[in-house]
Amino acid sequence: MPLVITSLGLNRELIKAVQGYGGLVFHDVTTLAFAAKAAEAGVDGLIAVSAGAGGHAGPLNPLAAIADIRGIFDGTLLLGGAMSDGRQVAAAILAGADMAYLGTRFMATRESLAPPALRNMLVDAGAADIVYTPAISGVPGNFLRPSIVAAGRDPEDLSRPASYDFGTAEAKAWRDIWAAGHGVGAIGDIPSAAELCRRLAEEYEAALARAPALSLRPRVCS
Ligand SMILES: Cc1cc2nc3c(=O)[nH]c(=O)nc-3n(C[C@H](O)[C@H](O)[C@H](O)COP(=O)(O)O)c2cc1C
């Protein structure tokens, strides 16, 4: 395995073993403290899972996360969180990330194993439909509000258990209550993964082609 991604806990033995055979370890981090710990442990890359990411998202604004982590880490830096098109990927790179890390957008593809109802929910939902809470899995994460409601839970009061009064079976995190990030707002269809990648590349190139026109240099120098 040339690249191993770890999350929710730093495993020094694993880092040593993977690097020992020439592999790379990238580690998910949600705070600067976790990033510092992973950098000190010698990971090759850090994945800043920022506010608005699907699943176990962090609390940090993505621009702040990149700046903070860049200050303490020279390795490969990836940004995760709420990117659904190539313009956003270009923004992440311009802000200082080496790569972008997309999850939610790829759930709404033809090849995705997500149930059709989830894929349709991703198309219909906006960022306001995302609930950030530790109540579903025990760790703060972003989940689709309509799936919480469908599971018989009250998104405004998740301290209450599932509503058995209405005959709802106990809903399982991830299986019935679906994780997704703020990037749902920019998801409008369910293309094939190849078509999505083509689109991401085109949007990325178009965004970069526009960048020179935004230069302030002539105005600043004159
Ligand atoms: C349904 C779902 C399940 C996820 N499961 C995991 C997981 O098991 N381990 C993990 O490290 N990250 C997991 N993530 C987070 C992704 O690896 C990634 O950080 C995130 O999707 C990036 O943000 P985005 O969804 O806004 O693109 C999950 C994300 C989603 C949407």
Ligand 1 geometric centre to CA of 53 (Å)? 7
Could you tell me if residue 216 is inside a domain?
Answer: no
Please list, in sequence order, all residues whose beta carbon lies within 8 angstroms of the beta carbon of residue 155, skipping any fewer than 6 positions away. Answer: 131, 145, 148, 149
pLDDT tens track for 103-137: 999 999 999 999 999 999 999 999 999 999 999 98
pLDDT tens track for 55-103: 999 999 999 999 999 999 999 999 999 999 999 999 999 999 999 999 9
Place of tokens 């002539």: 218
**Number of domains, the chain:** 2
- The pLDDT of residue 172 is 76
Distance between CA atoms of 107 and 196, rounded to whole angstroms?
A: 11
Q: Same domain for 121 and 97?
A: no
Q: Same domain for 46 and 24?
A: yes
Task: Give the number of other CB atoms < 10 A from CB of residue 119.
Answer: 18
CATH number for position 67? 3.20.20.70
Residue list, ligand 1 pocket, CB within 6 Å = 7, 28, 49, 53-55, 80-83, 101-105, 179-181, 183
Q: Same domain for 133 and 77?
A: no
Q: Which of 102, 134, 156 is the last residue of a domain?
A: 102
Find the domain containing 27 and state its range: 3-102
Q: Same domain for 62 and 121?
A: no
Q: Same domain for 91 and 126?
A: no
Ligand 1 atom 13 nearest Cα: 55
Q: Which of 79, 102, 125 is the last residue of a domain?
A: 102
Residue to mutate (ligand 1; options 56, 119, 130; most atoms within 8 A of CB)? 56
Cβ atoms of residues 216 and 165 within 8 Å: no
Could you tell me if residue 36 is inside a domain?
Answer: yes
